[in-house]
Chain A
């Protein structure tokens, strides 16, 4: 891999006699989404504040594009930090300024742009973050989710090269959490900045992260891809990941990817040769189109409602469901053949069209933005034997996908 954009070498930080970071080593690469996970109070925010220079290490060194920060002169240091934005855990919005003024603040104070250009940029960011109607409101008049979006808009207004997100989803309900994460991922793809997140949202952060850093017992104990983390054998996995995944199951009704694969593994071990199982994959439109058509909040509400219904329907007959990707839900039916599954699916489709689609149109679609749009719900089934390759089966199920319903989504909700 190339030279890391940011690198920590044996960084130690103490507050009084309490050591918060102990010889931390990590690398963050350009253009990637890197997520730092760990328990509350483990020093994740402290670590993030070192990157932007709000805190300085007691020992060790931080390197920016291979150069140690502590050896840089003031102008060089200022230039290094110039492209970094920070989204605070508590938003840190100026409560005496309106949302518009909060977002415009960095441009007004640090650039020589004309008023009209600042206005154009702020309006564009507010539209992107669905805040246009809140422009003249003060932060105290906004919901928690809107405050987060205002903080996100302010962090992105200067088109930064690096954005640090300190627990961007704290205090949000599961739907809003996913909405904020998907907003970060979408903006990161669009603007191509390097994102560093501190988050508890497991497994949702896996969908948007290129790399995961695990902070445990004052040290970074893991650096790698989300897939590599699944196979990481360390007490961190039992103490942190399992507890967070348990919480995720309670909140969303769906199993995490890791729990799903564990259950799958157990089920498959019980299978005798020749016995089959089925995978059903559900998807809701094309993700980017979906987000731009209905907005982040509505998209997450729709996916959540779909997930709950799928889990309820298939859970009753031993099915296990998980969110496979941002717009995909995977269900495994461990005891069903293809014929049985297709018969179950016929019943499901009838119920889905009769109950779920009207409910979503009247409920989750309330959050939709703009004009009415039509969203296609697809489902595909694949059958496999005990030792079948799950990824190959998934691809087969995807290629078998057919339309099972259409949602007519309009702002304020419709029923058709």
Chain B
């Protein structure tokens, strides 16, 4: 952890060094930005590795269960609400579009495949980022600026083991489970809008959903959700953990900005990695 901190400190101290000519300043700016970005990616990767290393240490089970409650269980309501309306909109749009081509019977499969392969993992990850990811970044950020993390060091308690690792393992467990909930409730939402409200035959809806969804689609959806869990938990913990080293702010403001960065970076990385993972899996 010390080398990550020293690297970030070095960047922080270098901020006033500017070459003379404007053109050089431009290249220096681009160079520094790229180096800082690569630095951060490397540091975050090391950060993740150090946290994963601690997952199976003793006394971690209870902490992980607690975090599953905060990250997972307490997100169920919002996930169900979002997935219900996502499924309903999907059912509505699919029925409207497919009826034009005389293919209303495919509504079930379209809703189910869209949710299982794409919308379920992505929207679940984004919703958890908004609800739990921001809380993780803020909580760790406050622990950092109020010297609670330093206090752990002085008590010989590894902060990666005590704070970060349970959150990452809890996210890895919670994300696929919440994705499954999202998928099921979403398919039910599609049923409500297309069958109950628009009069599609219920047998056709369920048959179509069952026939066209393969096990590989479900597995791919869960693989995505695990990838998103690692990304979201790492980014949010990392932003909070190093909130005190931000170049743009200090103290409470740094925690606020770290929280914002955590949510924004997580959302962007979810969408970027979604494309990468999809292209690898298909």
Contacts and interface: CB of A to CB of B under 8 A. Distances in A.
Interface of A: 16, 52-54, 78, 81-82, 84-86, 88, 90, 92-95, 105-106, 108-110, 158
B156 A54 contact: no
A93 B142 CA distance: 12
Contacts of A90: 146-147
5 contacts: A84-B154, A85-B154, A88-B150, A94-B143, A94-B151
A110 B150 CA distance: 16
B59 A52 contact: no
B147 A92 contact: yes
Contact of A110 (B13, B147, B148, B157): B157
Interface in B126-158: 142-143, 146-148, 150-151, 153-157
Given A92-B150, A110-B156, A110-B157, 20 more contacts: A52-B154, A54-B150, A54-B153, A78-B156, A81-B156, A82-B156, A85-B154, A86-B151, A88-B147, A90-B146, A90-B147, A92-B148, A92-B151, A94-B148, A95-B142, A95-B146, A105-B157, A106-B157, A108-B59, A109-B157
A106 B148 contact: no
B13 A16 contact: yes
Contact of A109 (B13, B142, B146, B155): B155
B162 interface: yes
B149 to A, nearest CB: 9
Contacts of A105: 155, 157
Contacts of B151: 86, 88, 92, 94
A54 B154 contact: yes
Contacts of B157: 105-106, 109-110
Contacts of B162: 109
A32 to B, nearest CB: 21
B255 to A, nearest CB: 13
A114 B143 CA distance: 28
A225 B151 CA distance: 31
A158 B13 CA distance: 38
Given A78-B156, A105-B155, A92 B146 contact: yes
Contacts of B150: 54, 88, 92
A81 B155 CA distance: 9
B48 to A, nearest CB: 22
Contacts of A94: 143, 148, 151
Chain A CB count within 10 A is highest, among B13, B156, B162, for B156
A409 to B, nearest CB: 36
A16 B247 CA distance: 13
Contacts of A86: 151, 154
Contacts of A110: 155-157
B140 to A, nearest CB: 12
Nearest to B139: A96
A94 B157 CA distance: 13
Contacts of B146: 90, 92, 95
Contacts of B148: 92-95
Contacts of A54: 150, 153-154
A162 B156 CA distance: 14
Q: Report the 10 A-B pairs with minimum CB-CB distance, sorted nearest first.
A: A92-B151, A86-B154, A92-B147, A106-B155, A109-B157, A16-B13, A88-B147, A92-B148, A110-B156, A52-B154
Nearest to B2: A56
Interface string B155-195: 11100001000000000000000000000000000000000
